[in-house]
Amino acid sequence: MRIGLPTHSERFGSNLFYSVQKVYELDAGPELDPEFSSPFHVVRQIPHAALHQIEQDMAIVIPVKNEKLRLLEGVLSGIPNACLPIVISNSQREPTDRFQMESLLLNNFCHSAKKKYLLFHQRDPVLASLFADNYQEILDETGLIRNGKAEGMIAATALAHALGKKYIGFIDSDNYFPGSVLEYVRLYATGFAQAQTDHTMVRIQWQSKPKIVDNELYFARLGRVTRITNQYLNQLLSLHSGFETDLLLTGNAGEHAMSMDLALKLSFASGFAVETNHFISLLEYFGGVLPSPFPDVMKQGVEVFQMQSRNPHFHDFSKGDDHLNEMIEASLAVIYHSQLCPKVLKKQIQEELKRLKILRAGQEPQAPRQYKPLLNLDVNKWRKTLDWSRYGNYQGL
Ligand code: GDD
Amino acid identity at 184 = Y
Q: What are the Cα distances from residue 13, in Å, to 98, 203, 251, 289, 299?
A: 46, 20, 18, 8, 10
First to last CA, the chain: 31
* Best of 61, 62, 65 for a ligand 1 pocket test (most atoms within 8 Å of beta carbon): 65
Q: What are the Cα distances from residue 117, in Å, to 59, 85, 108, 182, 332?
A: 10, 5, 11, 16, 35
Q: For ligand 1, say whether the CB of 275 is within 6 Å of any of its atoms.
A: yes
- Long-range CB pairs of 315-322, under 8 A, 24+ apart, other chains included: 315/172, 315/174, 315/175, 315/176, 316/67, 316/68, 316/71, 316/174, 316/176, 317/211
Q: For ligand 1, say whether the CB of 148 is within 6 Å of any of its atoms.
A: yes
Q: How far is the CA of 116 from the centre of ligand 1 (A)?
A: 23
Give the mean pLDDT of the chain: 93
Ligand 1 atom at shortest distance from the alpha carbon of 226: 33
The CATH number of the domain covering residues in 46-376:
3.90.550.10
Ligand 1 atom at shortest distance from the alpha carbon of 122: 1
Question: In this predicted model, what pLDDT tens digit does every residue of 171-198 receive, in sequence order?
Answer: 999 999 999 999 999 999 999 999 999 9
Confirm if 311 and 180 have CB atoms less than 8 A apart.
yes
Q: How far is the CA of 273 from the centre of ligand 1 (A)?
A: 11
E strand or H helix at 151:
helix 149-162
Does the pTM exceed 0.75? Answer: yes
Examine the pLDDT at 223 and tell me if it is beyond 80: no
Examine the pLDDT at 96 and tell me if it is beyond 70: yes
* Best of 88, 99, 149 for a ligand 1 pocket test (most atoms within 8 Å of beta carbon): 149
Question: In this predicted model, what pLDDT tens digit does every residue of 344-395 receive, in sequence order?
Answer: 999 999 999 999 999 898 899 999 999 999 999 999 889 888 999 999 999 7
Question: In this predicted model, what pLDDT tens digit does every residue of 282-315 receive, in sequence order?
Answer: 999 999 999 999 999 999 999 999 999 999 887 7
E strand or H helix at 113:
helix 98-113
Which of 199, 157, 198, 86 minimizes the C-alpha distance to 377? 157
What is the Cα–Cα distance from 224 to 217, expressed in whole angstroms? 18
Burial of 69 (C-beta count, 10 Å sphere; 0-12/13-18/19+): middle
What is the Cα–Cα distance from 392 to 116, expressed in whole angstroms? 8
Q: Count of alpha carbons within 13 Å of 154, Cβ hemisphere only? A: 36
Q: Specify the length of the chain in residues.
A: 397
Indicate the SS3 state at residue 214.
coil
Examine the pLDDT at 318 and tell me if it is beyond 70: no
DSSP letter for 388, please: G
Question: In this predicted model, what pLDDT tens digit does every residue of 263-279 receive, in sequence order?
Answer: 999 999 998 899 999 99
